[in-house]
Copies of this chain bind each other. A is one copy, B any other.
């Protein structure tokens, strides 16, 4: 007789670890490409290379799979912002934040699209994470930026919108990848586009935030 699934959380077997990993990998593929509503368990099962009931043995519902995936990915995804250092040199901190975010867009585009899909469709499954951990982290870093502005290290500006603009410009290269490629054309759509983007964005943000000529 199969033991109630709650028991699984007590001790996890090797097979459980492997299969759950395998499933979440496939789920990332599918959810990031079609959003929650547009994805089907059958698709995920096929990508994962196992039968649908087998999937549902490890995750009772489609929601459970999605949730597990979000939980696993969210921490990593916020890593660059967490690394934002109040004691560092403002110009260098912003520069490396942009670099790190661009690297994530290049190396983990599915993770970016997973969140983009979710937020775009009203964030029905991650509202709590947005209003909780995310907001708190941003609040904290915004305070750092505000202090920099106050002490004249960077121009006076709204730190929240600064963070939004770094998010949007960098994630754009993951979320809108097809559009970027289409517009750049075959000649410039090679992997060099991330280098070009990095160069431009650093120029834009460093130049735009330099304190020189603004109010006292």
Which A residues are closer than 8 A to B by beta carbons?
A: 33-39, 113, 116-117, 119-123, 127, 130-131, 134-135, 138, 155, 157-158, 160-162, 164-165, 167-169, 171-173, 175-176, 178-180, 182-185, 188, 196-197, 199-201, 203-210, 214
B164-A180 in contact (CB<8A):
yes
A204-B209 in contact (CB<8A):
yes
Residues of chain B within 8 A (CB-CB) of A171 are: 168
CB-defined A-B contacts under 8 Å, sample of 17: A33-B122, A35-B38, A37-B37, A116-B176, A119-B175, A127-B178, A134-B179, A157-B200, A157-B204, A158-B199, A160-B196, A164-B169, A168-B169, A168-B172, A168-B176, A204-B209, A207-B208
For A208, give its contact among B122, B131, B172, B208 (CB under 8 Å): B208
Residues of chain B within 8 A (CB-CB) of A209 are: 204, 207-208
- In the complex with contacts A158-B196, A182-B135, A121-B38 CB distance below 8 A: yes
**A192 vs chain B, min Cβ distance (A):** 11
Residues of chain B within 8 A (CB-CB) of A158 are: 196, 199-200
Chain A to chain B: the 4 pairs with minimum beta-carbon distance, closest first? A37-B38, A208-B208, A130-B182, A168-B172
**A179 vs chain B, min Cβ distance (A):** 5
B120-A161 in contact (CB<8A):
no
Given contacts A120-B120, A155-B207, 8 further A-B contacts (CB under 8 A): A34-B37, A38-B38, A127-B182, A164-B180, A168-B176, A169-B169, A208-B208, A208-B209
A120-B175 in contact (CB<8A):
yes
A197-B119 in contact (CB<8A):
no
- In the complex with contacts A182-B135, A203-B155, A161-B196 CB distance below 8 A: yes
Residues of chain B within 8 A (CB-CB) of A196 are: 158, 160-161
A157-B203 in contact (CB<8A):
yes
A122 to B110, CA, bound (A): 12
